Amino acid sequence: MTNSITQNALKALLYELVTLPKPGLVDPLNQGPHPDMDVYTFVNSSLSLEEYFANAETLGRTFTKTDLTQLFFQLRQKGITAEQKMVTATNGINTHKGAIFALGIFVCAESYCTTNHTELFTTIQKMCNGLVKHDLVQNNQLKTAGEQEFYKYGAGGARAQAEQGYPVVRDTALPFLKNSTGSFQTRLLDTLMKIATITEDSNFIKRAGSYDSIRCLHKKAAAYLTAGGYATTEGRQKLLQLNAECLANNYSLGGCADLLIVTIFVALERGYI
């Protein structure tokens, strides 16, 4: 039977998916600016990752060396295989590349921490120590959106979050979700928007074509929360407006979605939700 860490990882993917109405993202009512994927594509993608999370969990539990960067590089090999499985399950569509990276790290680290009685975010920092330098500074073939944005703007994207021990999750999203009240939908949507107030989402920046555009997203997400979030009529109106803008301009919040996924995972592990 699948153990609870792996189950919580799968739950986190599905909780994020069914949350609606999410701006710039796929949900059960809307494909947002992602015409090549829908909710079924994400269900197929999520289930294809079960074995990967189980492997990440085993890796964390059985790792005995002191240099935790070796744990990360062993996990990455499994992540590359998981990406191939995801692409097969989705007929070639990139649904969860960012989540394979981020949630894989959280699952592996959580499992390591449970066995070794260490703190989660510090363990992640140790696993990902030097990652930006390894992947971006010493890399002269910058191909992906994240790699090119590092070259153009110095933004470290998904790797920088990991190397810093996910400060967006640790200091902002997780305390926010823990203290939130109301329906699940309201809590998770508001947490997504909280994440969107501060995240340098490389997916959004790539689609918008400029780094400055992310400041505009930060402001709109903050205005939604100031209006009272999803529990208020004004908040809902602002969210629907942002949804429409994302659709019209082809903006995606893929990186924010991944950070919501890992926040949900930790909240489930700690019994906050």
Ligand X SMILES: Nc1ncnc2[nH]cnc12
Interacting residues toward ligand X by CB under 6 A = 16-17, 25-26, 34, 99, 254, 257-258
Smallest separation (angstroms) from ligand LTSJ6FE6 to the CB of 101? 4
Interaction partner, residue 26 (ligand LTSJ6FE6, ligand X, none; CB < 5-8 Å by kind): ligand X
Question: Number of helices (H) and strands (E), helices first, in the chain?
Answer: 16, 0
CB-nearer residue toward ligand X: 8 or 125: 8
> CB burial class (10 A; 0-12, 13-18, 19+) of residue 210?
exposed
In contact, 26 and 38? CB cutoff 8 Å: yes
Distance of alpha carbon 147 from alpha carbon 167, whole angstroms:
21
Residue where the block lists tokens 């295989």: 81
CB-nearer residue toward ligand LTSJ6FE6: 157 or 235: 157
In contact, 166 and 176? CB cutoff 8 Å: no
Q: Which long-range contacts (CB under 8 A, 24 or more apart) does 225-228 make?
A: 225/190, 225/193, 225/194, 225/197
Give me the residues that bind ligand LTSJ6FE6 (CB under 6 A), please: 76, 80, 94, 96-99, 101-102, 144-147, 157-159, 161, 199-203, 206-207, 252, 254-255, 258-259
Interaction partner, residue 17 (ligand X, ligand LTSJ6FE6, none; CB < 5-8 Å by kind): ligand X
Interaction partner, residue 250 (ligand LTSJ6FE6, ligand X, none; CB < 5-8 Å by kind): none
Interaction partner, residue 107 (ligand LTSJ6FE6, ligand X, none; CB < 5-8 Å by kind): none
